[in-house]
Structure formats: C-alpha cells, structure tokens
C-alpha cells in the first residue's frame, strides 16, 4: 500500500465518490501522485449488508446537520437534509444506477427558458459537443446499458408495469436503461444477479462504483495514497493565495497537515461548500474561493416525488434491480405544460422499512398501514426533474450547532420554486394516469425523500462574478484549487447526475494533466 510523506507535494483530493474517485484514477494512471482523503471507512464489498435499514446505518453520513426553509424535509427530517454515504466510494456505493445524459437545452437553460422570476439561471460555460466525448468515456467506464454495445438490462415486474402503462398513455421513449449495472460480465465485473435492493451496497460488484473500479485501479499504479477515516477541516493557502495544504483529523482525532501542489474538493454539494467556508482567512474572509459570494448558493436537489400504485395481483416490485426502467418523454422542454424544463419517470422499489419511513412521514392509521399491507401488490416510480437554482437556497455554517470535532455543521436552506411545484404536480398526475391505464386499484403520492441529488453550490460560470469555478471546475480565485463534484453544476437538468459528474471529472483530469505539462500548476 502506497504511503506518501506529509511534506510531499502531491495532488490532494478530498472525497472518493463519483468525482473524487474518478479524478484520482485518471491522474494516477498518468503518473501523477495523489493523496485521496475520505472521511468515511473503507467498507469492503463482502462487508455490505443486504438489508436496507441496517445498511443505512453502516453507510450513511449521519453526522449532524440542520436545515431550514419551507421544504417538507425541514419538518420530516430536520437532521437529515441529504442522503449521502460516508465511506470509500462515496455515494456511488448507494446510487440507484440510472445514467442519462444532459440534453442540449439543459446546458443553455438561461437562453432557452428566458428569465424566470426568482430563478438564478445561467448557461453552462461549456457545450454538449464539448462534453460528448467525455460522456462516451464515462459510459464505457460505467458499463452503461444501451450504450456502446452494452446490452439492455432484463425487465423485472416493476418495469413491465411501467412499460405497459407507458405504451397505453402514448409514451414512446422508455427502456430498462441506460443503467450502470452489468447485465452480463463486463470490465472485470460480474453480471447482475438481480438480487434487489443493492441500492445499499452491491456485494456482487455488478453495479459500478469508484469503490469497485476506479480506486482499486488507482491503487495498483502505486501513485495513490488512500486515507480513509480522515476528516478534512481546512484548506490553507500561501501568501500568493494559492492552496498549499489540507489540514485533516485522522480516526484518532490527531491533526495532520498534508502539503499540496493541487487541491481538488469532491465532498458533495453540502460538505464541499462547508469546507470552503471553514477555510476562510484574512485573504478570503467569506470563505476560500468566495470573492463572488456564490459559495454555498444556488443549492439544487432535483424536483422529486414518488407514486406507489397497488394492483389486484402481486407485482413483487422488489425483485430485480432497484431502478430498472426510465421514461424519457417528459424530459423535453415544453412550457405549454406550465413549467420550464422537464423530468424523467424512473422505476423505484423501496423495501418495506424504507417505504414505511418515507411514504408519508409522520402518518399513522388505516390509510397509512394500507400502503404497507399492499406491499406485494405494489409498483412504484420516482419523478426526477430539473429544479430552479435560487440564490437563497444555500448551504451555510450553523453558528450554534457543531459536529464531533467542534466545527460548525452545515445548514441547508431550501424553498421550492413555483416551477418545481408545477413540475412535481404534473409528474404525479402522469404517473397516476400511467398506473390507472394498467388497472391500478389505488395510488399514493409520496413526498420527496431526503435529498440524494445535491447540486450547484460552487457553480461553474463564464464570468468570475457569477460563480465559483470555470468550465473545468478550477476556482476563479485560487488557480490550483478545483471542485470535482456536483457542486459545479450551473443548473441541474433532469438527468440523474452521476454520469455527468464522472464525465466532468474525466475532463477536469485532462485539463490538469495539460496544465502540468505546461508547468502552469
């Protein structure tokens, strides 16, 4: 196992998920020395628990946070505004697996949608044509089904209900993918055994994650020093304002300083701005790389909600992959529907424990228990769509609540935009029409879960005054500081974000290697 000295000048990456793990792999395979610091434990595949409730306790980032705003999460889950994994591999060990790409209009949201009151829309500072080759590379790495010759995922019952309903209501674009789990052996990973609920850590390794693919390959180069159970608490800088080290606590609460040539932050869109804000100094009094005031702002979590429908006969939705189907017809931009942007309808099977927790938080009685009593006869889907960035939706430091190390926790403030509400209502209605078309006896609208798609708090922008990073995730203020996760999303689009995070990390790696070759870093 490779170990670098704390005085070695290396690339330091904070966080080992989709962005950080991918960046580490891309850099180490090109001969660049990397220290990858992960706050969570290194949980091996064989240690994953195939039980959703126990697995949540094993994997989730349950450190205290607070939340505010009018979103229902503040009432239902005041200490859990987001659902993130604290472990090597990050949230790629938990993700559902859908891998759609951004659409052209979603990267040009300001130009396409126009000015929407209350929304802080910007066009991305890169085009779909620039991103396309990296989407190709990412899909090949993930083994996305329906792409580059990868075969389709087998259809489970939950998908068959979805597809039958889709056909009857007139949808045209639905399939069992694209999806990041192997339908047959590929790239050293086995094919899925359709075991269900591998949302909670896939013991077989059929589902892509940086834990399974990128991190072991990076370690094999001899250029990666992986440090799990280490919490980064500050990024420091030199007199020129360039990042020069990270300060972190190890598992025994010992404080260390790792010298850095480059720092890349990939702690997710809540912990990344928190770390930048914690790294304030006399030169950066409002937080590192925050001269624009945009660090933590424009937080997005996607417009979401679920519909679970019951039928006369068993469906057994829990058999097979968790998210084994997607309808893309509603992803278009069509303002005649009453909102800007679009959304997907994706199968989503929860186990009895999670369904009980999230179907109608705080409820009890016959109406609630009927949802659980009908579990075997239930089919379910998830609405996921583009929510509007708003300056007031933001991550800040809580001045009164601290973590186990005495540091301010993140507070996540969120209010739905009227466009978000209109989109969600449309999605609920379409899902109910779909299930009614195939004979459902009842349908229940589930409110959004604690956010899984956290985006936008260190956004890309063409102009420094409009965001935090440039088109490569390089901080406008600090030339050797990069942001390498979903924080850089200028707008959210409707697509599940993992594929785009991986593609952006690959593009960022190419840029860093180029800057190294030109001695600009």
Q: What is the mean pLDDT of each run of 10 residues along the chain (521 residues)?
A: 95 98 98 98 91 86 92 88 90 93 98 98 98 98 96 94 98 96 95 78 91 98 98 97 98 97 98 98 98 98 97 94 92 98 95 87 87 95 98 97 95 98 98 98 94 95 98 98 98 98 98 97 93
Total Cβ atoms within 10 A of residue 104:
12
- In angstroms, the CA 78 to CA 80 distance is 6
Strands (DSSP E) contained in 372-475 are: 378-385, 394-402, 408-413, 442-446
3-state secondary structure of 477: coil
In the chain, domain spans: 10-517
Total Cβ atoms within 10 A of residue 516:
17
- On the CB side of 155, CA atoms within 13 Å amount to 11
Residue 51: what pLDDT?
81
Hey, CA dihedral for 311, 317, 322, 324, is it positive or negative? Answer: negative
Residue 394: what pLDDT?
98
What are 160-167's contacts with CB under 8 Å, separation 24+?
161/311, 161/315, 161/317, 161/379, 161/435, 161/438, 162/325, 162/327, 162/345, 162/347, 162/379, 162/381, 162/434, 163/325, 164/437, 164/438, 165/434, 165/435, 165/437, 165/438, 166/327, 166/329, 166/345, 166/434
- In angstroms, the CA 469 to CA 425 distance is 34
Residue 197: what pLDDT?
65
Which residues, 6+ apart, have CB-to-CB distance to 414 below 8 Å? 67, 69, 70, 71, 73, 74, 81, 299, 301, 393
The pTM score is 0.98
Residue 54: what pLDDT?
87
**Displacement of CA 172 from its chain's centroid (Å):** 27
Q: Which two tokens stand for residue 521?
A: 């870093």
- In angstroms, the CA 503 to CA 132 distance is 9
Total Cβ atoms within 10 A of residue 403:
16
> Which CATH number does 10-517 carry?
3.50.50.60
- In angstroms, the CA 124 to CA 262 distance is 24
Backbone angles phi, psi at 242, to 5 degrees: -95, 140
- In angstroms, the CA 331 to CA 345 distance is 9
Binning the chain into helix, strand and coil, the percentages to the nearest 5 are: 30, 20, 50
- In angstroms, the CA 290 to CA 469 distance is 10
Supply the angle between the helices 418-437 and 157-169 in degrees, to the nearest 10.
100
């Amino acid at each position: 196992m490779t170990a670098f000295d704390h005085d070695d000048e290396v690339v330091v990456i904070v966080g080992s998920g989709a962005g950080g793990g991918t960046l580490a792999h891309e850099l180490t395979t090109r001969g660049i020395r990397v220290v990858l610091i992960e706050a969570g434990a290194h949980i091996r595949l064989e240690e994953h628990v195939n039980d959703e409730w126990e697995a949540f306790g094993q994997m989730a980032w349950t450190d205290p946070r607070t939340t505010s705003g009018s979103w229902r999460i503040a009432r239902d889950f005041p200490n859990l505004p987001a659902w993130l994994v604290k472990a090597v591999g990050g949230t790629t060990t938990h993700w559902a697996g859908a891998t759609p790409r951004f659409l052209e209009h979603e990267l040009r949201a300001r130009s396409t949608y126009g000015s929407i009151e209350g929304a802080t829309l910007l066009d991305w500072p890169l085009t779909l044509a620039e991103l396309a080759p990296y989407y190709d590379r990412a899909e090949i790495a993930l083994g996305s089904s329906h792409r580059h010759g990868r075969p389709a995922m087998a259809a489970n019952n939950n998908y068959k209900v979805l597809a039958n309903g889709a056909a009857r209501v007139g949808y045209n674009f639905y399939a069992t993918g694209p999806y990041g789990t192997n339908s047959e052996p590929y790239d050293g990973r086995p094919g899925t055994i359709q075991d269900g609920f591998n949302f909670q850590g896939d013991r077989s390794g059929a589902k892509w994650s940086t834990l399974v693919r990128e991190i072991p390959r990076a370690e094999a180069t001899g250029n990666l020093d992986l440090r799990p159970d280490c919490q980064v608490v500050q990024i420091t800088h030199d007199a020129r304002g360039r990042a020069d080290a990270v300060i972190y606590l190890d598992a025994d609460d010992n404080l260390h300083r790792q010298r850095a040539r480059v720092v890349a932050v990939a702690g997710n869109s809540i912990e990344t701005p928190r770390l930048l804000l914690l790294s304030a100094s006399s030169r950066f009094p409002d937080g590192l790389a925050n001269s624009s005031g945009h660090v933590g702002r424009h937080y997005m979590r996607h417009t979401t909600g679920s519909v679970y429908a019951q039928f006369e006969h068993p469906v057994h939705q829990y058999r097979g992959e968790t998210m084994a189907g997607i309808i893309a017809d509603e992803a278009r931009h069509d303002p005649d529907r009453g909102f800007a942007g679009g959304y997907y309808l994706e199968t989503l099977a929860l186990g009895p424990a999670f369904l009980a927790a999230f179907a109608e938080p705080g409820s009890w009685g016959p109406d609630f228990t009927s949802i659980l009593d009908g579990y075997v006869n239930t089919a379910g889907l998830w609405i996921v769509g583009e929510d509007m960035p708003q300056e007031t939706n933001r991550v800040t430091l809580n001045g009164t609540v601290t973590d186990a190390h005495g540091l301010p926790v993140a507070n996540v403030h969120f209010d739905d935009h009227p466009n978000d509400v209109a989109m969600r209502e449309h999605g609920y209605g379409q899902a109910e029409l779909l299930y009614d078309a195939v004979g459902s006896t009842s349908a229940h609208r589930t409110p959004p879960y604690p956010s899984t798609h956290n985006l936008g708090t260190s956004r890309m922008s063409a102009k420094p005054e409009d965001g935090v990073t440039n088109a490569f995730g390089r901080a406008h203020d600090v030339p050797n500081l990069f942001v390498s996760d979903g924080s850089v999303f200028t707008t959210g689009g409707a697509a599940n974000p993992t594929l785009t995070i991986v593609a952006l990390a690959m593009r960022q790696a190419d840029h860093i290697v180029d800057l190294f070759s030109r001695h600009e870093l």
